[in-house]
Structure 1
């Protein structure tokens, strides 16, 4: 298959950011699962803290900064000990831009995104002038949270301080706006950037991929060739992901084949995994399995999990059991996929056995959580959550929406509840999913017609997907949901994914 080259680069208009809400409230909870403690003991914690305490009187800035540098470089941030690392950092009397950057960057690398934004604000309050490295970390933190207001605030500060945009900052801004649901602004930044580094092209292709814009991603890839920018392995991961999210099977095969033939790039585990995902989503389970068997290296857990997920979707328990048998250390998601696959086939005894094994091994199911950023604050919701201070009002809004959507033809997708419970219990379970609560709160606190952006740590279910489409039509609103895999933008009763996700 020959894919023609195209020249339709994006508009070069400068994005209008408008007024920004400079939020001061940063919640302490985070959707990120904390990494387990692995390397350091309590003795190590106390020893380092005692050393730093001893540097206070008399002041010993050289030793304090030396210890802090070693912590950042070798220790606690890398193994998830944010509390200890931050305490050591705050103990240091002489904190310059380098130590601030190291700490904020360490937070971002280890998934402490809220803490990174909080430290960025503390840095500003301490009158330490941020540089390009600081802004790159802050933008990345906003990107991972999907915190648009915070991201716009950081971007505007960069403009005010006349920070020069290099390829790192351009890539970070493209990624941030796309992950915050503003793909048009990401395109605009790409259109005005100096595109002489492959990372900028990769950022744009990956951004288009998570928005399900495979044709645009293919166009960008084609223009890379015209502008003489050589793709790297990450480029092909992005283009294969874009093809996977849109069911472009033939295009995916084409790009996978030209990696080595045209660009001398040997396909790695990640590329094979992307192809397994592409075939699996399209229902080509045997082709996905054959690709795994033909891999020139040992298949990793990602490939087997992609196959297992496809087996659950297409109810192929025989192949699903093979995939599970190849995953050496089953995580909670693997057990849940296997259990749900059995439930979809009404094999309740098998599903119960899987849950028994989970309980025996102490494996907990990762609980769904959704969050929405409004007026500078991030509000989190779990399924059936009643912890929010405005719970009563949220539930009233949600019940009205459910009633109105039923009048428009919405039928609860009870078959998406993989539990052997009554039909009434299934409906109750579905009615109060976390993304529905987040949407109800967004409607409660925003003006009519305003777009609502919701983020979710898991893949959105088919029931919520169908319901969101109807609600978008009822309220004449755009509802954008960023789940674990991609973006869904609901408008006028349809979704940008075309019901393929």
Structure 2
């Protein structure tokens, strides 16, 4: 609050003196407080000391000291030191005083051609999530090097601007700057998060064309890329063609197999890892436990949890306990999962309580579900939905209504499902109930036809999953407009029979959509691959790769 108050005062001074440059020794920054007045005998601080002070201010959000340091920078003639200006901009951004940071950049007469300073500023802004601010600095730069581009592309990925990361990469390729290994590492990560198979092939091909040397970072990233794009067989080929001397490469393969529900394959890779005398680390066991969780391999999961501690002396961390709670909860061992939470040597985090809540919803245990809810300090819409759906499935409408009232009281809105598909290198996104697509009419016509065909095959909508106590017709209409159904209908509209369908989704796929896609894969004789928030589902011939366990 103090920082905002001082920042507000500074802003008002700027409104009264708009012509005064922020870096001028005559500006308000020279004497913002009496504490800045120093005697003639005071020792002049060097720029390194001021830089250390600003770095400390950044992490403590100490705006007052940063403000005073800024004045000293000007007073003692350090206003053209790139490291100090970068620290000032970053500190003001951390202190939520973006107006001052903007003014500082606007009034620097040299930053447009000072490459090192501009690169440092972009990197600092990206770290605090000021993407648009960093982009503005980037666009004003007269010169850019590979570090500049890497900072922008990596920053896009860090701030979940994956499509924009790809646009910057294409722009970089059209410039006179050659991408390096760091560039490709960021681009690969962005493609993986986006699930873009088309771009995955282009980026990998470009790496080969430019003879980028594969190190363990890029090798791991490529395996992760193809795994998350639904190309697990290609990921295996990459794994088998590279050196396995770093544990991160093994971890990427194990985690890739885990999200595809290929637990036995993941266990096989772990055994091969042991045979080649590569020591697993804590991440390895997270992958193995996750693989066991996705396939219901409870006994194997318990064995690896014990092996990690007993044989490899790796103490379980929150993530390992979370994986075990998830494993037990998915298998219906809800009480055992709760017992493990209570026996943990550290405080369980929100992820663990949500895993228990999900298990309580799946196996209709409202008592423990309410315990989990009580332990989650900051409820999001998904938590409310899990609890409410649990009551709906038990037809406890009063309790479900109570949850809805809690949502209204706390101003919580339900997260809308979002799915996307890639056709011809273009990403098409859909939200639940979406009618914004240019071809909406045709999409819904195809969807209605598909729903009629699946009903003729005996499909019954899972109306018990709908949050509200409304008529069956209203519930069914709600289910029919789920985002993955719209995305799938669009692909069917735009592709020829037999083409493989790939859909990505931001939430966990629901039971209704899962059953519907199994029937549809058989009716259309098509392979349908859905990547949801948890894992991959490959529907083929009326069956799913998850064996209905997810």
TM-score (norm 2): 0.81
> What secondary structure is seen at the aligned counterpart in 2 of 1:164?
coil
Q: 2:511 aligns with which of 462, 474, 484?
A: 462
Q: Which residue of 1 aligns with 2:471?
A: 422
Q: 1:61 aligns with which of 103, 113, 119?
A: 113
CA offset at residue 47 of structure 1?
2.4
Say whether the 8 Å CA contact 1:208–1:216 is kept in structure 2.
yes
Q: Which residue of 2 aligns with 1:393?
A: 442
- Whole-Å Cα distance in 1 between the matches of residues 490 and 515 of structure 2? 19
> What secondary structure is seen at the aligned counterpart in 2 of 1:385?
coil
Q: Cα distance 1:84–1:470, how it changes in 2: closer, same or farther (>3 A)?
A: same
- Whole-Å Cα distance in 1 between the matches of residues 327 and 381 of structure 2? 23
Q: Cα distance 1:105–1:223, how it changes in 2: closer, same or farther (>3 A)?
A: same
Q: Which residue of 1 aligns with 2:388?
A: 339
Q: Which residue of 2 aligns with 1:9?
A: none
> What secondary structure is seen at the aligned counterpart in 2 of 1:61?
coil
Q: Which residue of 1 aligns with 2:29?
A: none
- Whole-Å Cα distance in 2 between the matches of residues 365 and 45 of structure 1? 36
- Whole-Å Cα distance in 2 between the matches of residues 38 and 434 of structure 1? 37
Q: 1:191 aligns with which of 240, 248, 255?
A: 240
Say whether the 8 Å CA contact 1:311–1:319 is kept in structure 2.
yes
Q: 1:47-446, aligned counterparts within 5 Å?
A: 47-51=103-107, 54-55=109-110, 61-62=113-114, 65-72=116-123, 74=124, 76-446=125-495
> What secondary structure is seen at the aligned counterpart in 2 of 1:366?
coil
- Whole-Å Cα distance in 2 between the matches of residues 146 and 388 of structure 1? 21
- Whole-Å Cα distance in 1 between the matches of residues 503 and 377 of structure 2? 34
Say whether the 8 Å CA contact 2:334–2:360 is kept in structure 1.
yes
> What secondary structure is seen at the aligned counterpart in 2 of 1:288?
helix
Q: Cα distance 1:51–1:243, how it changes in 2: closer, same or farther (>3 A)?
A: farther
> What secondary structure is seen at the aligned counterpart in 2 of 1:488?
strand
Q: Cα distance 1:216–1:315, how it changes in 2: closer, same or farther (>3 A)?
A: same
Say whether the 8 Å CA contact 1:344–1:418 is kept in structure 2.
no
Deviation per residue, 1:248-268 (Å, 9 max, x gap): 000000000011111010000
Say whether the 8 Å CA contact 1:48–1:67 is kept in structure 2.
no
Say whether the 8 Å CA contact 1:453–1:480 is kept in structure 2.
yes
Deviation per residue, 1:398-454 (Å, 9 max, x gap): 111111111222111111222111000011111111101100101111121110100
- Whole-Å Cα distance in 2 between the matches of residues 393 and 178 of structure 1? 32
CA offset at residue 40 of structure 1?
2.5
Q: How many residues matched?
A: 458
- Whole-Å Cα distance in 2 between the matches of residues 152 and 113 of structure 1? 16
Q: Which residue of 1 aligns with 2:497?
A: 448
- Whole-Å Cα distance in 1 between the matches of residues 270 and 263 of structure 2? 10
Q: Cα distance 1:39–1:351, how it changes in 2: closer, same or farther (>3 A)?
A: farther
Say whether the 8 Å CA contact 2:251–2:284 is kept in structure 1.
yes
- Whole-Å Cα distance in 1 between the matches of residues 491 and 107 of structure 2? 48
- Whole-Å Cα distance in 1 between the matches of residues 495 and 105 of structure 2? 46
Deviation per residue, 1:471-496 (Å, 9 max, x gap): 11111100000000000000011000
**Greater relative contact order (Cα < 8 A, sep 6+):** 1
> What secondary structure is seen at the aligned counterpart in 2 of 1:263?
coil
Q: 1:469-484, aligned counterparts within 5 Å?
A: 469-484=518-533
Deviation per residue, 1:184-232 (Å, 9 max, x gap): 0000000111010000000000000000000000000011100111000
CA offset at residue 372 of structure 1?
0.3
Say whether the 8 Å CA contact 1:414–1:423 is kept in structure 2.
yes
TM-score (norm 1): 0.89
The list of structure 1 runs, each at least 4 consecutive aligned residues, that deviate by more than 4 angstroms after superposition, is: none
> What secondary structure is seen at the aligned counterpart in 2 of 1:239?
helix
CA offset at residue 122 of structure 1?
1.2
Q: Which residue of 2 aligns with 1:32?
A: none
Say whether the 8 Å CA contact 2:385–2:467 is kept in structure 1.
no
Q: Which residue of 1 aligns with 2:98?
A: 42
CA offset at residue 353 of structure 1?
2.1
- Whole-Å Cα distance in 2 between the matches of residues 44 and 457 of structure 1? 37
CA offset at residue 55 of structure 1?
2.5
CA offset at residue 48 of structure 1?
4.0
Say whether the 8 Å CA contact 2:461–2:476 is kept in structure 1.
yes
Deviation per residue, 1:41-64 (Å, 9 max, x gap): 331342243145x337xxx623x5
CA offset at residue 38 of structure 1?
7.1
CA offset at residue 384 of structure 1?
1.5
- Whole-Å Cα distance in 2 between the matches of residues 259 and 432 of structure 1? 45
- Whole-Å Cα distance in 2 between the matches of residues 44 and 99 of structure 1? 23
CA offset at residue 39 of structure 1?
4.3
- Whole-Å Cα distance in 1 between the matches of residues 118 and 182 of structure 2? 22
> What secondary structure is seen at the aligned counterpart in 2 of 1:278?
helix
Q: Which moved more, 1:348-357 or 1:458-467?
A: 348-357
- Whole-Å Cα distance in 2 between the matches of residues 79 and 364 of structure 1? 26
- Whole-Å Cα distance in 1 between the matches of residues 400 and 259 of structure 2? 32
